Chain A
Amino acid sequence: MSTWIAACQTDDIDPEDVIPFQHEGVGYAIYRSPEDDFYATAGHCTHERMLLCDGLVMDNTIECPKHNGRFDYTTGRADGAPVLVDLPTYPVRVEDGTVFIGIG
């Protein structure tokens, strides 16, 4: 069972971009795709735990700002070295302009 947490408003994020979100000491990254769909992943890279929100979003990819490891943020899939471990993802729901993420 997920708990739904209001993370941000839809227009807090530019299309094809990412923002950070904190909840109970845990970091998340919330994405808006070029098609205006919303996604959420863990906030830190699986390589050396850098904050992903400083990285570049291109299409469905987030590039880690530190060593350019890449993930598909819609699935969490790591694209290969230096990132070898997939990124946890979280379900997202949008209601009346608010983005909710499901955690737990």
Chain B
Amino acid sequence: MLTKVHTGLDPVPGVWWKPAHKAEKVWVAIAFAWCMVLFAMMPLWHYRGGQNPAGVRGKVDPEAFYARTQEFAAQYQIGADRGIPIVKPPPGADVYLVGLTYSWYPILQLEAGKEYMLHISSKDVNHGFSLFPLNVNFQVVPGYDYALRVTPTTSGDFRIICNEFCGIGHHMMVGRVIVTDGDGTPVADNPNAQVESGGPQ
């Protein structure tokens, strides 16, 4: 039943298919069960959980996406900060956000508790969407439209960091998302994300 004592450096007899000791069998069984738990959690979260990278995905021409975003910005613009339009779409609307070296366009103003269809894509190279300080991250790939159903549950003044290397100005690429509370009053109640100037209007 047992193999002769040997190390991993020794050749072994042609037939090494011997039954394992109970301890190993038990460990393999436990590890297998744990692997099944790990596996089951993901589909389960699609049914029960609130955070999934699912969305609606499709291919898109980068220039066309950029044009669509500009159109969207013009339609709902309510102000501007540092030359970038602040855009306030109605709840439920399709919202467009484009990454381009080295900025995020436009600035979004959303309402807490309302659902939006957020389309993210790039005009040029890969970028990384990283919502600060929540730490929500998505890859932004040129030619692909990633449309995510988003419901902001906290209000405040948020940032979008680019966290995929996109060129020498990568570290200058920061965008802004403002989430107002139910009454529509602008809030900047997030102590980690005060703006220096040009607050929401």
Whether A associates with B in a native complex is no
